Structure 1
Amino acid sequence: MRNIQLFSTDTDDGVVSVVAKTGPGEHRTVKQISVGNAPRGGVKFTKDGRGFVCNTSQNTISEIDAVALEEVRRIEVGHGPRGQGLLPGDKYLLVSNSGSNTISVVDLELNVQVHEIATGRDPRHMGINAAGTVAYVCVWGDGYVSKLDISSLAEGSPEGITELAQIPVDREAHPYSLAIDPSGRRVFVANTQAPYVTVIDVESDETHRVDVGSNGGRAVAFTDDGRVALVTVENTSSVAVIDVATLTVTRQIPVGSGPRGLVVDPLDETAYITNFARAGMMSGHPGFGPNTLTMVDLGSAPLDRDEGEFTYEEIFVGYGPCSVTMFDLDTLSEEERARRLDRAGSDA
């Protein structure tokens, strides 16, 4: 039996819904963790199960415990936090503040913001390379991706962070979120107001466009082998499947209404998509309404051609789910889990 938990960030409810996954098609909602107002973005987890989520309307991030399933503390950051990036080693967290046009550097040992970096207008979601030396940040309001040298954090020097480049997407495209492919060679950028995904070559900073058929790009994820990129397209209630080698769309997967967040379970190649749509938005897969997660079994139909039907499951969560991430409790020892639960009980 597996011990996976899915964490759905439910903006309208001010909660993070926790769904336990014990096996294929076996899901149950076990908790809704109250956090701050208008939580946004996926929960970022350290290796020991400390999770962090942005409270956009309160200018804080909440720390939640993946074992005790409760909020631990709130940390003040800039105005309108929306996106996060966790550095290798779990000492520093970067937070994009869409309202103050800055990036906060949060020290996770001190649990406090220690530095703030100016950016362009309305920074959103980000990605950090595996070495922890470079961060890519979507600057939604100015239409570019900011490439930051964050190598100074390895020496404990937040003040040494510098901007290496402003990689143009398009001012009217509004880059929203991104992900670095498993090879580390390319960055895939989802744009909310352009019918294409922007792909950045890491070595040269050159860009390419992949037509996904509609505006409304929201999130990017990859299959475990890195051969396929998946992009949620909110306006068509679908997931675009992109062949990473050829940069071509091979098919569209219909999902629930108004998809935004996306995560792939690498062990069984299932994808989980948040259905954010409020009343009046386009419907997606038949019978799959808003305020749910759509589970898609990526192995149930070909990804490289438009053939066959996928196997789905609908999972109910809170209102306004915008992002979803996962944490494997089996990565923690039994002793660590027991210690965390004991601590939570003594704090109650």
Structure 2
Amino acid sequence: MKFHCPRGVTLLPAFAISLVVGLQAAPAQAAGEAGLAYVSNQNGELSVIDLATMEVTKEFSSPGKEPRGLGVTADGKLLVTANRADGNISVIDRETGKLLSTVVIGKNPEFVRTRGHMAFVSFEPASDGKPPPKPGSPEAMAAEKAKDDDDESPAYVAVVDLKAGKVLRRIRGGLETEGIEFSADGKHILVTNEEDDNITVHNIATGKKVKTVDVKPYGDRPRGIKRAPDGKSYVATIEHGNTLVVMDDKYKVVKSVPTGDTPYGLAFDRSGERLFVANAKSKTLQVYNAKTYETIKTIPTGERCWHFTFTPDDKQILIACGRSHEVVVIDATTLEPTKRIADKKLPWGIVTYPKSVGSLDWPE
């Protein structure tokens, strides 16, 4: 049964309520259906995977150039893609694939989170979109000097009203803002700033920065960030530190945990018992006990696997692996790969409808 939000519901104060409801949500399932997964392909369209058969059944040609970030609204009506080369987002009818509108965001839009009828999109005016140099290399030192010498443009999170099709405001982050998460009470947005080596916390309503968390002692380039299902902690991956940092509900780092090589996307399972981290260069999905942070298992995946999602019934995990051009299917109980779905167009992000738990999404 699909849920449709009543007309007239607004982001605030209903925003905070929806977050609390989301923490307690049971697995959603469309009547008689296993649901669908949507994959953003940086070199092509949106692939649609039937989760009952684990086969690609159609492609939507409606995204712009180089779609990366991807989100689906809670009512299932809209898909949103962040199109890096076009500097905009596409708003797409989820059922038909028809392009409904585009909204100009800014240079290098990348990460998308949806909440109610709003989309939060990070974009990076100072980024050239290329992979960062290796830490300590001459290229990295030159880039660091340039950052110190130049007045680089900060990154932002654009707050978009999807009904109105316009940007309402922009929340200023740091340099190369990447990952996005919301606080448990719905008042704050947390963003990872790759080039600043920090995580900043902002008031959603005003955009005012309320805290800066320095993660430089743990490595360079924070990427992914997630709130625990109980709302009491937050975790973030440090790409060039091969590290995971754990923050308490006051946004204080209380623990660091070693990961595989080049971690990015991460997500708790729905119960909050396990934490999953995608390690791009290790070509693994690492599974932790979310209470002790001891490694439960390290699962082989593919090349440049950044983002993943559980199926709506929580029985399987699908991870998008860009450089090996595939989506790897993993049994969520045995933690063993069960299938590889070919996708030759550089898959980047993946979400499902009904909405499920994943590195890019969480059920509302």
* TM-score normalised over the length of structure 1: 0.69
CA contact (8 A) 2:192 2:224 kept: yes
Alpha-carbon RMSD across the aligned residues, in angstroms, is 2.0
Question: Taking structure 1 as reference, are residues 46 and 186 closer, same or farther at Cα in structure 2, changes over 3 Å only?
Answer: farther
Between Structure 1 and Structure 2, the one with more strand by share is 1
Match of 2:240 among 235, 255, 258: 235
> Which residue is equivalent to 2:302?
318
> Which residue is equivalent to 2:229?
224
Deviations 1:258-299 (A, max 9, x none): 00110101325211111112xxxxxxxxxxxx1111111112
Q: Which runs of 5+ in 2 are unaligned?
A: 1-27, 127-154, 316-364
User: What is the 5 A alignment of 1:81-92?
Assistant: 81-92=67-78
Counterpart CA distance in 2 for 1:231 and 1:260 is 9
Task: Say yes or no: does 1:295 pair with 2:287.
Answer: yes
Give the SS at the match of 2:220. coil
Deviations 1:138-172 (A, max 9, x none): 0123511111122x2xxxxxxx22211111113xx
Displacement after TM superposition at 1:322 (Å): 1.0
Structure 2 counterpart of 1:324, one-letter code: F
Percent identical residues: 24
Displacement after TM superposition at 1:46 (Å): 8.3
Match of 1:247 among 251, 272, 275: 251
CA contact (8 A) 1:121 1:140 kept: yes
CA contact (8 A) 1:50 1:66 kept: yes
Question: Taking structure 1 as reference, are residues 110 and 311 closer, same or farther at Cα in structure 2, changes over 3 Å only?
Answer: closer
CA contact (8 A) 1:126 1:138 kept: yes
Structure 2 counterpart of 1:140, one-letter code: E
Counterpart CA distance in 2 for 1:93 and 1:232 is 26
Displacement after TM superposition at 1:109 (Å): 2.2
Counterpart CA distance in 2 for 1:202 and 1:83 is 20
Structure 2 counterpart of 1:148, one-letter code: V
> Which residue is equivalent to 1:188?
190
Structure 2 counterpart of 1:274, one-letter code: A
> Which residue is equivalent to 1:136?
120
> Which residue is equivalent to 2:202?
200
Match of 2:266 among 242, 245, 262: 262
Deviations 1:291-327 (A, max 9, x none): 11111111225xxxxxxxx233110112221112212
Match of 2:99 among 87, 109, 113: 113
Match of 2:90 among 104, 110, 113: 104
Structure 1 counterpart of 2:302, one-letter code: G
Counterpart CA distance in 2 for 1:295 and 1:179 is 21
Counterpart CA distance in 2 for 1:330 and 1:242 is 26
Structure 2 counterpart of 1:139, one-letter code: F
Task: Say yes or no: does 1:271 pair with 2:275.
Answer: yes
CA contact (8 A) 1:223 1:269 kept: no
> Which residue is equivalent to 2:113?
127
Structure 2 counterpart of 1:320, one-letter code: R
Counterpart CA distance in 2 for 1:166 and 1:79 is 23
Displacement after TM superposition at 1:111 (Å): 1.7
Give the SS at the match of 2:291. coil
Deviations 1:219-254 (A, max 9, x none): 11111111111111101011111112x221111111
Moved more, 102-111 or 199-208: 199-208
Give the SS at the match of 1:216. strand
Structure 1 counterpart of 2:212, one-letter code: R
* TM-score normalised over the length of structure 2: 0.66
Structure 1 counterpart of 2:246, one-letter code: V
Counterpart CA distance in 1 for 2:305 and 2:171 is 30
Deviations 1:203-223 (A, max 9, x none): 321113111223311111111
Match of 1:147 among 155, 159, 166: 159
Structure 2 counterpart of 1:317, one-letter code: T
Q: Which runs of 5+ in 1 are unaligned?
A: 1-44, 153-159, 278-289, 302-309, 332-348
Give the SS at the match of 1:314. strand
